[in-house]
Amino acid sequence: MSHARSYGVTPDGERVEGWPARLAGVTETVIATKGPNDHWNQAALGISPTGGNDEEIPAGATTAATARSYGRTRTRRNLDAGRDAYVQFTTDPVDFVEAALTTFETDEPILERSAAWTRIECEERKRTVDRGTEIVTWTLEPVESGVRTRSVPTANRARAAVIEATVPASRLDVDGYDEADLLARLESLASVVDATGDARTLAAFDSIDEYVGWRDRIRE
């Protein structure tokens, strides 16, 4: 089935030093954190160089990166408790939507469609509040990494649109955001996916509507 989410596998692949990919700007990843039930919670997480968009971390570097968690999510609670965590590098649209908008748990930490992973140690840097939401900034230290697949990179507008769409979708019921603006963004991104997406990408975008019902909100 093109819509099926990945299952979890044990950390495998070619071991490499430091981060397995260059980090510049905000790199959208999926973080797996071990929960109190011994299952792995999969969630979307943007990571970036600590110095901001003017800096980059080369592949192979052991430089710490930065990430932010918003609200008392499972990821935040698991990191607060000092539980094991893995950052995963994937372009799979279904897995990203599932991680961003649902409770997504696996028996093992690494999603089967992830291209690479890094086991990390996290340390809290600061806490702030924005629009009533507590934001925690974390320092991420790479401990070990594995590269599972190597492929020639390609650019695809539909995959990028799916990832972008999870942002307004996740804010639809958050105070301080204009619902009409969010729905307009989703409608625009839907046209990109319809025009350029493959079957799995189309299924991923359809699942966004399944989880947040944005098309029904437009019709209301």
* CATH number, domain 157-219, options 1.20.1270, 1.20.58, 2.60.40, 2.40.10: 1.20.58
Backbone angles phi, psi at 41, to 5 degrees: -85, 125
pTM exceeds 0.85: yes
Q: Sketch the domain layout of the chain as residue ranges.
A: 12-147, 157-219
Please report the pLDDT score of residue 1 as a whole number: 46
Q: Which residue has the higher pLDDT, 162 or 54?
A: 162
HSE-up of 21 (CA within 13 Å, CB side)?
24
Q: Which residue has the higher pLDDT, 51 or 143?
A: 143
The three state secondary structure string of the chain is CCCCCCCEECCCCEEECCCCCCEECCEEEEEEEECCCCCEEEEEEEEEECCCCCCEECCCCCCCEEEEEECCCHHHHHHHCCCCEEEEECCCHHHHHHHHHCCEEECCCEECCCCEEEEEEEEEEEEEEECCEEEEEEEEEEEEEEECCCCCCCCCHHHHHHHHHHHHHHCCCCCCCCHHHHHHHHHHHHHHHHHHCCHHHHHHHHHHHHHHCHHHHHHC
pLDDT digits (tens, 9 = 90+) for 55-84: 999 999 999 999 999 999 999 999 999 999
Does 127 have pLDDT greater than 50?
yes
Please report the pLDDT score of residue 175 as a whole number: 84
Task: Record the tokens describing residue 215, joined without a space.
Answer: 């098309």
Mean pLDDT, all residues of the chain: 96
Do the domains spanning 12-147 and 157-219 agree at the CATH topology level?
Answer: no
Does 131 have pLDDT greater than 90?
no
Does 187 have pLDDT greater than 50?
yes
Region 128-156: mean pLDDT is 93
Q: Shortest CA distance to 104 belongs to which of 172, 148, 44, 38?
A: 44
pLDDT digits (tens, 9 = 90+) for 17-50: 999 999 999 999 999 999 999 999 999 999 999 9
Region 93-120: mean pLDDT is 98
pLDDT band at 2 (very low <50, low <70, confident <90, very high): low
CATH number of 12-147: 2.30.110.10
Please report the pLDDT score of residue 52 as a whole number: 83
